[in-house]
Amino acid sequence: MTFAKYIQFIIDALNTIVVPVIFTLAFLAFVFGIIKYFFLSTDTTEREKAHAFVLWGTLGMVLLFSVWGLVRLLLVTLGIS
Number of alpha carbons in the 13 Å side-chain half-sphere of residue 51: 7
pLDDT, tens digit, 9 for 90 and up, residues 21-54: 888 888 888 888 899 888 887 888 888 888 888 8
Helix (H/G/I), strand (E/B), else coil: 1:
coil
Does any domain span residue 30? yes
Provide the domain count of the chain: 1
Question: Is the model's pLDDT at 56 over the cut of 80?
Answer: yes
Q: How far apart are CA 39 and CA 31, in angstroms?
A: 12
Report phi then psi at 33, rounded to 5.
-65, -40
Does any domain span residue 4? no
Does any domain span residue 76? yes
Write out the residue range of the structural domain in which residue 40 sits.
24-81
Does any domain span residue 10? no
User: Quick check: pTM over 0.75?
Assistant: no
Instruction: Give 30's contacts (C-beta < 8 A, 6+ positions apart).
Output: 53, 54, 57, 58, 60, 61
Does any domain span residue 46? yes
